[in-house]
């Protein structure tokens, strides 16, 4: 059954609009550990031990875990992390993604991510996507919080002024993207896998137009 009445599509960024390959995953994890080490003076081994004691057990977000251990805010951790890796070197122009967004111009497209706005804007053109496609690129710097906090999704609702049911959240993680979006009344779509609680689960992000009327 297709969705009707959707006016706003909200996209997660990393691992949703593009797939994160193992090399990039390693760079991101090393960046998280580097943030912890820079604020604590711990060894790599201790930072990793403390990180994995909390990640997925206490915090769903790896950056949130790093921020807690470093004793800084999530936003500060997000910004610092970006100094330690560059996702752009792993990405290239994506014709399928370009074609998908060309067919979604009648929707209000937004990005909601825990990254840094400037880095998102720098990365989109590498994929062949103009940042101008998106009415809003909302990061923790802008929302004042981070996913999976429902307040991040409520921020989007406050900006659009539309009922929650007119929004579709598209992401790759149920705990970070889907569950909090559902909690505020948004429709949800998990991509790149099968979910338990998402309304829709699709094999790729390119399939999103198929569920829209």
In percent, the amount of the chain with pLDDT more than 90 equals 87
> Which residues, 6 or more positions from 50, have their beta carbon under 8 angstroms from its beta carbon?
36, 42, 69
Block residue for tokens 């993680």: 173
Distance between first and last Cα of the chain: 9
- Between these two residues, 60 and 191, which has the higher pLDDT value? 191
Arithmetic mean of pLDDT, 143-152: 90
Confidence class for position 100, pLDDT limits 50, 70, 90: very high
Which H helix or E strand runs over 141? helix 140-143
Confidence class for position 18, pLDDT limits 50, 70, 90: very high
Q: What pLDDT digit, counting tens, does each position of 74-87 carry?
A: 889 988 998 999 99
> Which residues, 6 or more positions from 118, have their beta carbon under 8 angstroms from its beta carbon?
none
Q: What is the pTM of this model?
A: 0.92
Check: CB of residue 141 under 8 Å from CB of residue 116: yes
pLDDT over 90 at 99, yes or no: yes
What pLDDT sits at residue 70?
A: 98
pLDDT over 90 at 4, yes or no: yes
Question: 8-18+92-211, what's its fold?
Answer: Rossmann fold (3.40.50)
Query: Mean pLDDT across the chain, nearest whole number?
Result: 95
Arithmetic mean of pLDDT, 175-192: 97
DSSP for 12-61?
--BTTTBPPPHHHHHHHHHHHHHHHHHHH---HHHHHHHHHHHBTTTBS-
What pLDDT sits at residue 60?
A: 77
């Amino acid at each position: 059954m297709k969705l009707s009445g959707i006016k706003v599509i909200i996209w997660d960024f990393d691992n949703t609009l593009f797939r994160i390959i193992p090399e990039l995953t390693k760079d991101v994890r090393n960046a998280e550990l580097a943030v912890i080490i820079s604020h604590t003076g711990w060894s790599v081994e201790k930072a990793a031990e403390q990180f994995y004691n909390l990640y997925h057990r206490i915090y769903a977000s790896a950056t949130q875990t790093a921020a807690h251990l470093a004793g800084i805010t999530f936003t500060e951790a997000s910004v610092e992390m970006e100094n330690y890796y560059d996702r752009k070197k792993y990405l290239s122009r994506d014709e399928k993604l370009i074609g998908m967004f060309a067919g979604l111009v009648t929707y209000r497209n937004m990005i909601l991510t825990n990254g840094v706005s400037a880095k998102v804007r720098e990365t989109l053109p590498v994929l062949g996507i103009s940042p101008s496609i998106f009415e809003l690129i909302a990061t923790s710097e802008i929302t004042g919080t981070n996913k999976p906090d429902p307040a991040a999704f409520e921020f989007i609702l406050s900006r659009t002024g539309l009922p929650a049911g007119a929004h579709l959240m598209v992401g790759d993680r149920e705990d970070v993207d889907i569950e909090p979006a559902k909690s505020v009344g948004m429709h949800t779509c998990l991509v790149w896998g099968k979910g338990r609680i998402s309304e829709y689960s699709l094999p790729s992000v390119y399939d999103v137009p198929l569920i829209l009327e």
